[in-house]
């Protein structure tokens, strides 16, 4: 890693001040036992349980010599064995092929997101790189139990800008293109005979079109068009292939689940919620029927749509506290693997028998955390200055009075994503050190209807940032936060928000932590990965068009207001980040140095958009803890 520490002229005074704050702050000695960062940010004990299609084996991720690899065991036996040999980055995504012989996993190099798909043959433990191409991204699209030897995946080998669809045969290793991207396609939708009859295409105005065709020999035709302010998502074809399940916000503020006839265009609503978008859709891999949907405003909740699973959902709700999801199921659909998440425990995996309607705990991802006291996450609603209601989560330290606390505003990335209730290692780490944590779903966050998303159009650094400002002012007024000890912290868009807060409202914060955040919207838009090109018009619609709105984008870019930054910053960057290039951090660091402002800067040469390797995560969180402690007080792990 490369570390730069700039402008140390008042370092000693700040260090002394940090100690004074620690002494004069809340009674931190009353906090529960200090949770080691290793337990929060190191490798999990085990994770990502998956059941084999025949229901006889289970796979999971676990460390081997400190690096996450795939392990397999026979259900009911203690014959666990590791079947992959990653020695550097760690495997984070794996799944079974339906032939019961192959485990597939994805891996990139140093965070460059040029994913390759690998297969392990469990009969002889041989491993193959199925997509051995440099500077190419390959990602899986579909598996189907009726075609156990085949995998559909997309790859930009023919043209770096475009994702074509390929069929891979696991027996022969042969790969053939089955969907050539005509220049506008951003996603493929195979039918239930593994034929590519649907696609999702971008439109010149930034909107999208749902394309369908009768067979792979026919041309695509447009079935539905969404303008850039609407939400549309294809989920797959109905069992008989005459209809398609879609998420659709046309005619409503929220995204609803519909089925649309691919010939006539006739559509009907299958499920909807009054105040929140469709979240998850659970479709049977055997019958291709929608079994359940979920929604998430303050907490996730499931709505069964098929009577065959209603009793299962009732039984599952009695297994454990928290929220659950069905993460894996065998081919017979008699055995499920479930993941339960809660705010005060790490994810727990259960095996569930549909016949017995009973479940068994398999493992917790971080069992050692059960020895410690974790802080509950509280849902709150905050009113922005224009009246918009912002759903948010407040995590307060346990054991001390919830008044006048140092606080971290932790801003999510995306920005078209959201914060949600559940176990959050950053929130637990911060609360355990004595800091209140506020996580705000500012306008533009997803899940709360299209009006909420569209309220953020071209509002980077303005209304979106005002929401964060208003949330801090709310916490101050409610008495939770000490106005003199508020930090802003975030990654990706959250990193941008940190820089924007430091530049546009420096009086609000005492310090900031930026992880892979863009500093100049102009250079960000000019350097997006080439395979994002079909979506660039939507980016312009949401953020701004650099060809016609250059002045506005510069005004919203922290780089051009760097001279206004007066708070110390910690900036972390991955050298191989394909989304927010290293130059985004380099240019703001150079500007801060020129202005003699204090900044700590660390670059990880083997990381991309975020820090995947536990060594790097632990290093950065260690630096962050010391940095935040210096300005907020609280507790510090040696």
Active-site residues: which are they? 492, 577, 609
Helix and strand totals (H; E) in the chain: 12, 36
Say if CB 558 and CB 519 are below 8 A apart: yes
DSSP notation for 346-359: EEEEEEEETTTTEE
Distance CA 570, CA 572 (A): 7
The C-alpha atoms of residue 178 and residue 200 are separated, in whole angstroms, by 15
Alpha-carbon distance 302 to 278, whole Å?
10
User: Helices 425-432 and 614-632 meet at what angle, rounded to 10?
Assistant: 40
Tokens 């200090």 label which residue? 34
Give the whole-angstrom CA distance, residue 544 versus residue 552.
8
DSSP strand pairing (389-395 vs 377-383): antiparallel
Tally of CA atoms within 13 A in the half-sphere of 494 that contains its CB: 26
For residues 20 and 37, the answer to whether their CB atoms sit within 8 Å is no
- DSSP calls for 526-555: HTS-GGGGGGHHHHHHHH--TTT-HHHHHH
112 to 140, 416, 611, 613: CA distances (angstroms): 17, 21, 12, 13
Q: How many CA atoms lie within 13 A of 186 on its CB side?
A: 20
Contact in structure between 138 and 164 (CB atoms under 8 Å): no
Task: Please give the Cα distance from 358 to 352 (Å, whole number).
Answer: 6
Residue 371: how many CA atoms within 13 Å on its side-chain side?
A: 9
Distance from the Cα of residue 454 to its chain's centroid: 21
What φ, ψ does residue 230 adopt, rounded to 5°? -105, 160
Beta-strand pair 323-329/300-304: unpaired
State how beta strands 162-169 and 175-179 pair: antiparallel
**Coil, strand, or helix at residue 330?**
coil
Rounded-to-integer distance, Cα 388 and Cα 606, Å: 41
d(CA 195, CA 588): 49
Strand ranges of the sheet holding 93-96, from the earlier edge strand across to the other edge = 93-96, 102-107, 116-121, 126-129
Q: How many CB atoms lie within 10 A of CB 562?
A: 22
The closest of 202, 387, 393 to 296, measured between CA atoms, is: 393
Terminal Cα distance for the chain, rounded: 21
Q: Counting Cβ atoms within 10 Å, is residue 392 exposed (0-12), middle (13-18) or buried (19+)?
A: buried
Return the number of other C-beta atoms located less than 10 Å from residue 465's C-beta: 21
Cis check for the bond before 154: say yes or no (omega within 30 of 0): no
Rounded CA separation 534/519 (Å): 24
């Amino acid at each position: 890693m490369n570390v730069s520490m700039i402008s140390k002229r008042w370092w000693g005074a700040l260090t002394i001040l940090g100690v004074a704050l620690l002494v004069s702050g809340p009674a931190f000695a009353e906090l529960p036992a200090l949770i080691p960062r290793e337990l929060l940010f190191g490798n999990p004990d085990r994770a990502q349980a998956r059941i084999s299609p025949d229901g006889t084996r289970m796979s999971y991720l676990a460390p081997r010599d400190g690096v996450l690899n795939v392990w397999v065991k026979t259900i009911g036996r203690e014959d666990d064995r590791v079947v992959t040999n990653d020695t550097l980055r760690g495997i984070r995504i794996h799944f079974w092929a339906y032939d019961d012989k192959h485990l597939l996993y994805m891996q990139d190099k140093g965070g460059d997101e040029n994913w390759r798909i690998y297969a392990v043959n469990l009969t002889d433990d041989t491993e193959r790189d199925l997509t051995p191409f440099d500077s190419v991204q390959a990602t899986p699209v579909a598996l189907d139990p009726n075609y156990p030897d085949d995998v559909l995946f997309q790859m930009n080998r023919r043209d770096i800008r475009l994702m074509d669809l390929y069929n891979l045969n696991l027996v022969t290793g042969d790969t053939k293109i089955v969907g050539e991207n005509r220049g506008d396609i951003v996603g493929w939708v195979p039918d239930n005979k593994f034929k590519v009859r649907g696609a999702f295409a971008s439109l010149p105005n930034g909107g999208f079109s749902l394309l369908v065709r009768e067979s792979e020999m026919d041309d695509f035709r447009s079935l539905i068009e969404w303008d850039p302010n609407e939400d549309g998502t294809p989920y797959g074809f109905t069992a008989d292939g005459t209809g398609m399940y879609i998420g659709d916000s046309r005619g409503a503020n929220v995204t609803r689940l519909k089925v649309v006839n691919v010939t006539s265009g006739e559509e009907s609503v299958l499920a909807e919620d009054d105040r929140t978008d469709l979240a998850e859709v659970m479709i049977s891999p055997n019958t291709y029927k929608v079994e359940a949907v979920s929604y998430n405003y303050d907490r996730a909740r499931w709505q069964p749509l098929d009577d065959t699973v209603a009793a299962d959902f009732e039984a599952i709700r009695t297994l454990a506290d928290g929220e659950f999801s069905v993460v894996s199921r065998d081919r017979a659909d008699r055995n499920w693997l479930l993941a339960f998440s809660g705010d005060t425990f790490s994810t727990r995996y259960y095996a569930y028998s549909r016949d017995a309607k009973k479940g068994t705990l398999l493992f917790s991802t971080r069992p050692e955390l059960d020895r410690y006291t974790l802080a509950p996450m509280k849902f709150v609603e905050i009113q922005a200055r224009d009246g918009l209601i912002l759903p948010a989560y407040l995590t307060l330290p346990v054991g001390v009075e919830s008044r006048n606390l140092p606080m971290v505003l932790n801003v999510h990335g995306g920005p078209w994503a959201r914060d949600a209730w559940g176990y959050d290692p950053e929130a637990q780490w911060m609360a355990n050190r004595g800091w209140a944590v506020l996580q705000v779903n500012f306008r533009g966050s997803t899940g709360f209807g299209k009006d909420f998303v569209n309220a953020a159009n071209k509002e980077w650094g303005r209304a979106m940032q005002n929401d964060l400002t208003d949330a801090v002012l709310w916490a101050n007024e409610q008495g939770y936060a000490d106005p003199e000890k508020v930090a802003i912290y975030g990654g990706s868009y959250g990193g941008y928000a940190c820089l924007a807060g430091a530049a546009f409202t420096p009086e609000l914060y005492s310090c900031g932590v930026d992880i892979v955040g863009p500093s100049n919207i102009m250079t960000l838009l000019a350097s997006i990965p080439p395979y994002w090109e079909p979506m660039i018009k939507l980016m312009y619609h949401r953020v701004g068009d650099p060809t016609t709105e250059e002045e506005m984008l510069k005004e919203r870019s922290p780089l051009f207001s760097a001279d206004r930054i007066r708070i110390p910053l910690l900036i972390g960057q991955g050298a191989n980040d394909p989304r927010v290039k290293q130059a985004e951090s380099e240019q703001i660091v150079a500007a801060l140095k020129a202005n003699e402002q204090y900044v700590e800067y660390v670059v990880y040469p083997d990381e991309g958009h975020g820090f995947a390797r536990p060594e790097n995560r632990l290093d950065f969180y260690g630096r962050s803890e010391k940095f935040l402690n210096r300005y907020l007080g609280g507790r510090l792990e040696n």
